Amino acid sequence: MTWSVDEFLDLIDIRSLNWCFIDMAANSGFRVMHGDGIHIHMVLEGQVRLTGETGDPLDLKPGDVAIQLSGIVHKVRCGHGRTLSTVSQLASELPGDEPLLVHVGQGRRACRLLSGRFQVLWPSGFQPVRLPATLSMRALDLGIDLQLLAEAAQGTGAGAMLNRAAELLLVEALRSDHYFQAQLRWNLQDPIARAKILIEKHPFARWSVKTLANRVGMGRSNFAARFVAETGKTPIGALSEERMRYAEQFLRDTDLRIDEVGEKIGYRSETAFVRRFTRHFQITPSKLRKIGSYRLQ
């Protein structure tokens, strides 16, 4: 059984590395070196041309967005720039919050971009090897005004806000690409991998072995046996481990009562939650909270 497009897109997870405003003088340009991330360029002012190692040049105007999927070297020029700078900020491994300001070339600003680099956690190890190197779109087709987005991208939380916008743009670019659905059919047919991701993404849902098996298109008995064979855990054991991870976090980082923590992660009974937590961590929830600096192994 394959994934539906909606189900797959809902499970894509973005982790931002950094964002930059890039002000380019006339007839200037910059290159982005090879890396393992995805790059997004949003054109705020002027007209630019993006070229890569493969594919045709892409001419972009204000309101256009280009998403470079393959991580290959690509170049962005404002006008007929021949001398290319390297925007090292886009290659940094240190994540930032508020976008940095980068100047390219000499003289007054002729083009402005809001560019970012991020990692995508693809469900079930999916890699977009058969997709075009670069996808492009108009932001206004999704109701996103790039000028307003840029004005909002300042101060604490700007990076998180831009991540959400990038996620929305990436989802739209993928669902508009006609190769995308075909690649889903080719690559995402492992029901156990799919079940593991469903547990990780929705750990508080009221899963049972039967509902998980139904969701991935298997019979209950075959699903349970195969899950244990491939992971060394039962489906409910894997679900409990994921829930316990969140329970520990809630106990350390929030003021929720113990019964509220149990209810939040899917336990209807405080007694059942305390019993499961104690068995998993060899310490009770109340004791963990009292010795909050203690780290469980």
Indicate the residue type of 294.
Answer: Y
Domain ranges of the chain: 5-183, 191-290
> Which residues have CB under 8 Å from 132's CB, separation 6+?
55, 69, 177, 179
- pLDDT tens track for 3-15: 567 777 777 777 7
Better-scored residue on pLDDT, 126 or 142: 142
Q: At residue 296, does pLDDT exceed 60?
A: no
Structure tokens at 244: 């316990």
* Superfamily for domain range 191-290: Homeodomain-like (1.10.10.60)
Kindly write down the DSSP assignment for every residue of 103-156, as one continuous string. Answer: EESSSSEEEEEEEEEEEEE-GGG---TTS-SEEEEEGGGGT--HHHHHHH--ST
Mean per-residue pLDDT for 150-178?
86
Better-scored residue on pLDDT, 88 or 251: 251
pLDDT band of 134, cuts 50, 70, 90: confident
Better-scored residue on pLDDT, 161 or 56: 161
Indicate the residue type of 100.
Answer: L
Structural contact between residues 104 and 28, judged by C-beta atoms closer than 8 angstroms: yes
Q: Is 249 left (phi over 0), alpha (psi -120 to 50) or beta?
A: alpha
Indicate the residue type of 206.
Answer: R
Q: What is the per-residue pLDDT for 270?
A: 92
Range with lowest mean pLDDT among 52-66, 224-238, 268-282? 52-66
Q: How far apart are CA 209 and CA 231, in angstroms?
A: 15
Structural contact between residues 133 and 55, judged by C-beta atoms closer than 8 angstroms: yes
Q: How far apart are CA 262 and CA 4, in angstroms?
A: 32
Q: At residue 188, does pLDDT exceed 60?
A: no
Indicate the residue type of 140.
Answer: L
Produce one character per residue of 169-193: b if its CB has 16 or more CB atoms within 10 Å, e if not.
bbbbbbeebeebeebbeebbeebbb
pLDDT band of 131, cuts 50, 70, 90: low
Q: How far apart are CA 58 and CA 66, in angstroms?
A: 9
Better-scored residue on pLDDT, 269 or 189: 269
Q: What is the per-residue pLDDT for 94?
A: 61
Cβ-in-10-Å burial (0-12, 13-18, 19+) of 278 comes to middle
Give the CATH fold of the 5-183 domain.
Answer: Jelly Rolls (2.60.120)
Q: What is the per-residue pLDDT for 1?
A: 43
| Among 16, 136, 156, 6, CA closest to 68 | 136
Q: How far apart are CA 154 and CA 98, in angstroms?
A: 6
